[in-house]
């Protein structure tokens, strides 16, 4: 009986903790010369606590100069390849990353996005 009660309490706690996180996706493109461009104004919208971990630049961090190597580096850092773009051949790659935000961080993120629109 104690095990059942403990399991039930643990389940309720895990569900309530899961409900307090929000999921966002951030996107970037990798082009020739290992240049990374993040979509929208992420550097202004993301809370400072997340910028250093998420907005990485393989050229500055590792000296990579090839877009293929930069994509491999980004994939190793938790990004996912979502496609490529260009007219003939491949001019660049699009990557995405899923980010889980707690409620206060998500609210700050939304406030900063709204502030971008009012400027």
Q: Tens digit of pLDDT for each residue in 1-32?
A: 667 555 655 666 565 555 578 999 999 999 88
Residues in contact with 57: Cβ distance below 8 Å, sequence separation at least 6, in sequence order: 36
**CA quadruple 85, 30, 101, 19: dihedral sign:** positive
More confident residue, 98 or 87: 98
Claim: this prediction has a pTM higher than 0.75: no
Ranges of each domain in the chain: 21-118
What's the mean pLDDT when you consider all of the chain? 83
């Amino acid at each position: 009986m104690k095990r059942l009660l403990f399991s039930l309490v643990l389940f309720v706690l895990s569900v309530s903790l899961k409900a307090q996180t929000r999921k966002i996706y951030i996107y970037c493109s990798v082009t020739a010369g290992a240049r990374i461009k993040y979509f929208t104004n992420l550097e202004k919208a993301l809370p400072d606590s997340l910028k250093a971990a998420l907005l990485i630049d393989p050229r500055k961090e590792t000296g990579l100069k090839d877009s293929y190597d930069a994509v491999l580096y980004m994939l190793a850092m938790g990004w996912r390849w979502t496609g490529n773009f260009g007219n003939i051949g491949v001019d660049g790659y699009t990557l995405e990353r899923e980010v889980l935000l707690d409620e206060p961080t998500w609210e700050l993120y939304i406030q900063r996005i709204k502030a971008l629109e009012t400027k």
